Amino acid sequence: MASLPPSGSYLDSIRSSAHSLRVRSGIKIESDAITRLLSSPAFISSFQRVSKVHGLALPLNFPSPLAELNLISVMSLLNFGSGYRVPLHRSAGRGAWDCIRALVFGMFISSSADEDDLLSAKGMQNIATGKIAELMGVSIHVEKPHESIPGVTVGELGGPLYQLVKLITGVLNQTGKLLTEAGYPDLGTFVAESLKEGARVKASSQKANADVETVLEKLVRFLPAFQDMAVVNGQGRSCLYQAPAATNGHPDVYCFKKALFLIHAVTVRFGTITSPPFPICDTSHLPVFSDNVLPSLLIHLGVMGVSSSSMLSHLFVDTRSPEKLDSLLGHPPALPPDGSNQLPDDGPIVTSDQAYILRAGAIEACELMFKVANQMEDPTWMKEIRLPDIDMWLWSVAKDRGDYRKLERFVLRDTVFF
């Protein structure tokens, strides 16, 4: 396997590898384009409201804080499937994140305190594709003509949602097996242990974010489904459960989107409690949780330019209209009566390498947005913006505006990382 970052340098490795890959790949990020976005009616009129929409509201009654932490942890582990957005909307009427939430809620509600607990390590290890499909409310069969009887169709396993369900099942089975072998009853127990270890390291260290570094490293080292990194060589390699091998042992880019998201989700949920049940990390300066939404939207909003990139110049060609950009940066248009019910369209289909390049660009673009925002004088709340706020705004505003919902997002399937 390719090497993980040196211990204690995970956050720096995310930022430095993203910068290096972004520059090498020819993605342009201009400060004037960032200022234009941050000064636009689209941003100023929505940021303070939309950036607080984190999708982590949990309308469930938990028997203990550890049970809630476990559910948040599993939900973060399964926070992928963006490439199946269109078939999910067609089948279930909602996108990838909402389908994952529904699945994990269903696993919680249908579980009992005994061996039938689907959110336990053993439950995850043994869950099957049929149960996953049932709880997600999707069909994993496709209709095909009967081989010998004209006019008769038969259903058989197949199609994009069967592919997604198999990916989910694989991640759950593998994670449950590793947890069981290590003696953990569930993922939440491992995460709680990691948070406590992070607090111990922070107490004896002078390094900022020592607790985040510790927790992130423990998550990524232990679970392959968190090992979101790649060697980018133009071959379009697909990354599933482990990082690809590298000739020099070092990936070109580290993203670790789901692990970062998990750490921040714990802070969002428990950080406002006077006496939180678990140690809380300061996540205000975490790199963004780069998926397909952030880079796609940053391209549409003029912050990331891909026209000079040999690998990306044919993507998002329709974004290069000044009139369209002016419209997207303006106040949101009135929604048509049925605008929210329209099925989204798939965006450009990309290779694994292209996806990593785009995600690396978004990581650095958001870092630069954070710096520019904190230097702006008006409005005064710009100086209080933090990186996860920018992430949440981009992710949420993509759903908040009718014209943004119609914007293409790039598509990569066969990945468990976003």
Whole-number pLDDT of residue 112: 66
Half-sphere exposure of 84 (CA within 13 A, CB side): 31
pLDDT in tens, 329-346: 999 887 654 445 677 888
Whole-number pLDDT of residue 146: 66
Whole-number pLDDT of residue 345: 83
Whole-number pLDDT of residue 234: 52
CA distance 213 to 205: 11
**Is residue 71 packed enough to be buried (19+ CB in 10 Å), middle (13-18) or exposed (0-12)?**
buried
Q: Which of 259, 217, 219 shows the shortest CA–CA distance to 78?
A: 259
For the segment 122-138, the average pLDDT, to the nearest whole number, is 96
Whole-number pLDDT of residue 243: 40
| pLDDT of 25 over the 80 cut | yes
Q: At 268, is the pLDDT very low, low, confident or very high (cuts 50, 70, 90)?
A: very high
Sequence-ordered list of residues with C-beta below 8 angstroms from that of 111, at least 6 positions apart, any chain = 117, 118, 119, 120, 123
Tokens of 357: 């390049």
For the segment 2-12, the average pLDDT, to the nearest whole number, is 91
**Is residue 203 packed enough to be buried (19+ CB in 10 Å), middle (13-18) or exposed (0-12)?**
exposed
| pLDDT of 115 over the 60 cut | no
Whole-number pLDDT of residue 257: 98
| pLDDT of 172 over the 90 cut | yes
| pLDDT of 260 over the 50 cut | yes
Contact criterion met (CB below 8 Å) for 418 and 294? no
Is the model more confident about 239 or about 386?
Answer: 386
Of the chain, the percentage scoring pLDDT greater than 90 comes to 79
pLDDT in tens, 26-79: 999 999 999 999 999 999 999 999 998 877 888 899 999 999 999 999 999 999
**pTM, to two decimals:** 0.92
Whole-number pLDDT of residue 237: 39
Whole-number pLDDT of residue 209: 93
pLDDT in tens, 315-333: 998 777 899 999 999 998 8
pLDDT in tens, 152-163: 776 778 899 999
Whole-number pLDDT of residue 206: 83
CA distance 182 to 296: 39
Cα distances from 32 to residues 36, 142, 347, 377, 417, in angstroms, run 6, 49, 27, 16, 32
Whole-number pLDDT of residue 244: 40
Whole-number pLDDT of residue 265: 97
pLDDT in tens, 77-97: 999 999 999 999 999 999 999
Mean pLDDT for the chain? 90
Phi–psi pair at 349, nearest 5 degrees: -85, 130
